[in-house]
């Protein structure tokens, strides 16, 4: 990746409905505008994300979505929907990035949000780079949180099941919702760590100590699990299959889709479906990768994509 850099400007966007959104600008103030959308929802941005862009060529906006990272109030579910986030991106584009068009980069949940934003405001998107495609369809949620990925990771699945009594395991997302919104903080924390570790330990093709340590503290795990579960209970606040149905809106936006063949978190079927619905975009199926952005094959494709569009 590109060398580590620090933001040259940062601040908070007051949404005027109870949230303060942390944002930062990195790279060249006169460079090509780009917006980075992190995953989760609920994970927040990391310093490594800045390193996906040539700092001499890009002016990159990164921000922590509602309720996570450095944004406040912490782990809040109030006024926190896909469409609130789409509106936040639009305000940040206009007020902070100060551009008519920008490249939009999103992986995992970030790909979901990037698609939602681009389909709502296509006139403000110059290019799209999407990784680990997640369309938030019911079948995708069922695969990872109810039955499917459990067949690949039976040992880790037992840890995910542990906080939930057998009688409530028919709908694990709902059972986790009950605990993540409990009035007992210890119940919340136990559920948050179990939910978070299930994802952290299954996102890469090979085990990763660094991924396992992500969101290891209680506060980070709570934001990640509470917000992610909140979005999944509500089906992303979208209609079933909406992002694929409306993919035709993207036909004039240059795009690159990057997907790991062995992605157990957001299986390749969704990326393939997007490829068929948006054939104008380049499609790269990485043969030796899972879901994580920093797996070598995926990382190489992401850097090649940002380099190409920087021209």
Q: DSSP per residue over 106-149, as a string? A: EETHHHHHHHHHHHH-GGGEEEEEEES-----HHHHHHHHTSSG
Is the pLDDT at 269 greater than 90, yes or no? yes
- Whole-number mean pLDDT of the chain? 97
List pLDDT tens digits, range 283-300: 999 999 999 999 999 999
pLDDT band for position 213 (cuts 50, 70, 90): confident
Q: How far apart are CA 158 and CA 148, in angstroms?
A: 14
Q: How far apart are CA 278 and CA 125, in angstroms?
A: 15
Prior bond to 73 cis, omega within 30? yes
Is residue 4 domain-resident?
Answer: no
CA dist 236 to 83, 116, 182, Å?
Answer: 9, 10, 21
pLDDT at residue 265, rounded to an integer: 97
Residue 148 shares a structural domain with residue 280: no
Active-site residue, 291 included: yes
List pLDDT tens digits, range 74-126: 999 999 999 999 999 999 999 999 999 999 999 999 999 999 999 999 999 99
Residue 201 shares a structural domain with residue 91: no
Residue 90 shares a structural domain with residue 178: no
List pLDDT tens digits, range 35-68: 999 999 999 999 999 999 999 999 999 999 999 9
Residues for the chain: how many in total?
311
Provide mean pLDDT across the span 255-273.
98
- Adjacency order of strands within the sheet including 125-131: 9-14, 20-27, 58-63, 32-37, 102-107, 125-131, 255-260, 282-286
Residue 272 shares a structural domain with residue 202: no
Q: How far apart are CA 178 and CA 184, in angstroms?
A: 11
Residue 15 shares a structural domain with residue 99: yes
pLDDT band for position 216 (cuts 50, 70, 90): confident
Is residue 3 domain-resident?
Answer: no
Of 64, 111, 193, 263, the catalytic one is 263
Which range (62-76, 212-226, 295-309) has the least confidence?
212-226
pLDDT band for position 209 (cuts 50, 70, 90): confident
Domain harbouring 38, CATH code: 3.40.50.1820
Of 188, 215, 235, which residue sits at a domain end? 235
Active-site residue, 307 included: no
pLDDT at residue 211, rounded to an integer: 86
pLDDT band for position 137 (cuts 50, 70, 90): very high
Of 38, 215, 275, 291, the catalytic one is 291
Q: Which of 172, 166, 125 is nearest to 144 (CA)?
A: 172
Which contacts of 206-211 are long-range, i.e. CB under 8 A and separated by 24 or more positions?
208/292, 211/292
pLDDT at residue 252, rounded to an integer: 97
Number of domains in the chain: 2
Of 204, 220, 235, which residue sits at a domain end? 235
Please work out, in degrees rounded to the nearest 5, the angle formed at the alpha carbon of residue 240 by the alpha carbons of 237 and 241.
115
Q: How far apart are CA 87 and CA 90, in angstroms?
A: 5
pLDDT at residue 115, rounded to an integer: 98
List pLDDT tens digits, range 83-96: 999 999 999 999 99
Is residue 1 domain-resident?
Answer: no
Of 71, 108, 150, 220, the catalytic one is 108
Is the pLDDT at 214 greater than 90, yes or no? no
Q: How far apart are CA 162 and CA 190, in angstroms?
A: 10
Structure tokens at 33: 């505008």
Is the pLDDT at 210 greater than 90, yes or no? no
pLDDT at residue 63, rounded to an integer: 98
Partnered with residue 130 across adjacent β-strands are 106, 257
pLDDT at residue 215, rounded to an integer: 85
44's enclosing H/E stretch is none
Which residue range forms the structural domain that includes residue 53?
A: 9-137+237-309
pLDDT at residue 208, rounded to an integer: 87
- The separation between CA 297 and the C-alpha centre of its own chain, rounded to angstroms, equals 19
Give residues with Cβ within 8 angstroms of 72, minimum separation 6: 19, 20
Task: State phi, psi for 83 to the nearest 5 degrees.
Answer: -80, -25
Share of the chain above pLDDT 90, in %: 96
Place of tokens 């936006």: 253
List pLDDT tens digits, range 176-197: 999 999 999 999 999 999 999 9
């Amino acid at each position: 990746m590109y060398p580590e850099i620090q933001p040259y400007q940062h601040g908070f966007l007051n949404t005027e409905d109870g949230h303060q959104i942390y944002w930062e600008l990195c790279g060249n103030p006169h460079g090509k505008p780009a917006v980075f959308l992190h995953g989760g929802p609920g994970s927040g941005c990391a310093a490594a994300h800045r390193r996906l862009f040539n700092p001499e060529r890009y002016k990159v906006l990164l921000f922590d979505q509602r309720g996570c990272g450095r944004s406040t109030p912490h782990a809040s579910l109030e006024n926190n929907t896909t469409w609130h986030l789409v509106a936040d991106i639009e305000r940040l584009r206009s007020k902070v990035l100060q551009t008519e068009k920008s490249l939009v980069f999103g992986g995992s949940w970030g790909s979901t949000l990037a698609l939602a934003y681009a389909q709502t405001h296509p006139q403000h998107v110059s290019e799209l780079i999407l990784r680990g495609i997640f369309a938030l369809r019911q079948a995708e949620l069922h695969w990872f949180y109810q039955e499917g990925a459990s067949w690949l990771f039976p040992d880790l699945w037992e840890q995910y099941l542990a906080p939930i009594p057998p009688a409530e395991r028919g709908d694990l997302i709902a059972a986790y919702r009950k605990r993540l919104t409990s009035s007992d903080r210890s119940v919340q924390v136990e559920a948050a760590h179990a939910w978070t570790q299930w994802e952290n330990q299954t996102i890469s093709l090979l085990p990763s100590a660094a991924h396992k340590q992500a969101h290891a503290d209680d506060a980070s795990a709570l934001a990640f699990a509470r917000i992610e579960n909140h979005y999944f209970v509500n089906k992303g606040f979208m209609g079933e299959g909406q992002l694929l149905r409306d993919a035709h809106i993207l036909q004039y936006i240059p795009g690159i889709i990057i997907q790991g063949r062995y992605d157990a978190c957001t299986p390749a079927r969704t990326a393939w479906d997007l490829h068929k619905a948006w054939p104008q975009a380049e499609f790269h199926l990485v043969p030796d990768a899972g879901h994580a952005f920093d797996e070598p094959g995926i990382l190489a494709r992401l850097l090649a994509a940002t380099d190409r569009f920087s021209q």
